[in-house]
Every structure is written in C-alpha cells, then in structure tokens.
Chains A and B, each alone.
Chain A
Amino acid sequence: MKYGVVLFHTTSAVMKAEKLLVKKGFTIKLIPVPREFSSDCGLSLRFDWERRDSVASELNAAGVEMMGIHQMSLK
C-alpha cells in the first residue's frame, strides 16, 4: 500500500487532525516525521495515499493548518 504523510506546525494540530480523521472513518496512524521531509522530531500523520484529496479537504474544512502533504517512500 502507498502511504502519504501530513506534516503540521504544531503537535496540537497533529492531535486535532487525528481526532477528526478517526471520527470520519479514515485509517490513519501517527508516526515519527520521516527524515526526508523534515528534521523535526515530532509526530506526523500517515494515511492511505489513495485518499489524499479527501484527507486534505477534511483538514482544510476543519481549519487545521498543514505544513505539507507528501508521498512516503518505503525503502
């Protein structure tokens, strides 16, 4: 499965996004920020890449500010 990852500016935004997306039935998981996207050592949100558009629109609609959405490469 191809995964995407959403990066946020704050941990509270990560938690808000997690709560929202779980409630909406998305399969997600909080993971360490992948090093290829940022050297920040906090949390990011992993999701099924096929649902990229709906993840982005849910978060936008809820006003959760994102730092970026990336596709993950698993070596």
Chain B
Amino acid sequence: MSDAMDISRVETMVRGGTGSQSELEEQPEELPDKYESGTANMVGIAGLGAGLRFVCERGLDQVREHFKQMTQVLVEDLSVIPGIRLYRTIDVEQAVSVISFTAAGRRVSEIGMRLDDEFGILSRVGLHCAPAAHRTIGSFPEGTVRLSPGFFTTVDDIKKTVRAISEVLKT
C-alpha cells in the first residue's frame, strides 16, 4: 500500500455493532474500530488456540507418527482392492495424511455419495478446487475421492472405511 494513502479515509463496508461507541449508529473514526463492526470471531480464535495447545502438549512428533501410521494402513488396505488407483507420493516421510483414489469405471461423485449415505463416512470428491494439481497427477477432469485420517482416527476406523469402499465398488 502506498505511503501516500490515508487508510482512515477508506470507506467502511459494514456498519453497526460499533463495540466501543454503542450510542452511535455510525462506526467510530478510530482504528481499528472503524473497520471492525460486530463481534470478532472469538470462537474461531479460541479454537485455534486450543488446537495449538493440544498439538504442543502431545508433541508434533506424536501427532505426525499417528498420521503416518493411519495413512500407511489406509494405503496398504486400499491398494489390494481390485480396480483401485491411488494417487500419493511414494516417499512416506514426505506424505501428509491425505489419500486420493479413483476406481476403474466408477464415478467419484457416486462413491462419495454412497460412503456418506450408506456408511456415514465423509470424503471429498472431485477436483478439490485444485485443477492444476489434478492435471499434474493425471486425474483431470474427473478428480478423485479424497480421504484424510485425523489424530482421532483409529485403525478400526480405517478398516471399516476400507470395507465400506469394497462394498460400494461391488454393487
């Protein structure tokens, strides 16, 4: 931003809920109040803080190790299902806990819908708003089904998910 620009002269976009000068209908001229109508995202900020505290308490290594284990089990179990194609890095050390797959002759949107409908398993299908990434891995324009184990995912959850995927692909 140019030094010549006087930021206090920028028009407000949203007004109301002044926070500091409740008797006024207009936003106060003081910064940052002028541009901060309403209530700040306290829940989001508190959530971020709690999340960071949790990771620090457990230790990044332990969190990372769990992701690695879950991803490994998922990859091993998925790769034996006939017709499945996995999109992932070969180097486990570089991988994050996100696994993309497609199944020969099946639409990813149908797989995702049935995992949700019949098994209550949430995935994200399609291009993930990353068309260039999908062009790179050769899955454009159909996209993939994407699964992402989290810190609270168990081996049992993974086994159930893989069984569900097998079931969906059978019928």
Contact = CB atoms under 8 A, between A and B. Distances in A.
Interface string B102-145: 00001111101100110000001111110000000000011100
Interface stretch (A17-25, A26-34, A60-68): A26-34
A70 to B, nearest CB: 12
A31 B113 contact: yes
A39 B126 contact: yes
A34 B141 contact: no
Contacts of B127: 39, 41
Q: Tell me whether chain B's interface is mostly helix, strand or loop, or mixed.
A: mixed
A36 interface: yes
A2 interface: no
B119 to A, nearest CB: 14
A39 to B, nearest CB: 4
Nearest to B128: A41
B125 A32 contact: yes
A64 to B, nearest CB: 22
Contact of A32 (B113, B129, B142): B113
A73 B110 CA distance: 10
Interface of B: 106-110, 112-113, 116-117, 124-129, 141-143
Interface of A: 29, 31-36, 39-42, 74-75
